[in-house]
Amino acid sequence: MLSVASLCLESLMFIYPSFSTFYFHVINLPATKQMEMSRVHNLVMAKLESLTKEVQQLRRENQQLRHQLL
């Protein structure tokens, strides 16, 4: 699941270059800011994982509904 979340994050950075710039700017921040950004990163990754699970569930439901219609 983590690899899916990582792929989502990479896709997000590809689609929104400003997010990519913001994300990689963290490397040059002071330690306290890096810790804060690490927390934000963890929250983003958790949200991406949650959304990935939700999308998978919706896909399963969609598949079931398609089979019912046939």
CB atoms within 10 A of CB 48: 20
Residue 51 CB: number of other CB atoms within 10 A? 13
The backbone torsions φ and ψ at residue 43, rounded to the nearest 5 degrees and listed phi first, read -65, -40
Q: Is residue 53 scored above 70 in pLDDT? A: yes
- What's the pTM? 0.50
Q: How many Å is the maximal CA-CA distance in the chain?
A: 59
The first and second tokens of residue 14, run together, are 């590809």
| Residue 5: predicted pLDDT | 63
The domain locations on the chain are: 2-69
Q: How confident is residue 57, by pLDDT bands cut at 50, 70 and 90?
A: very high
Specify burial of residue 20 (Cβ count, 10 A radius: 0-12, 13-18, 19+): middle
* Mean predicted lDDT score pLDDT of the chain: 74
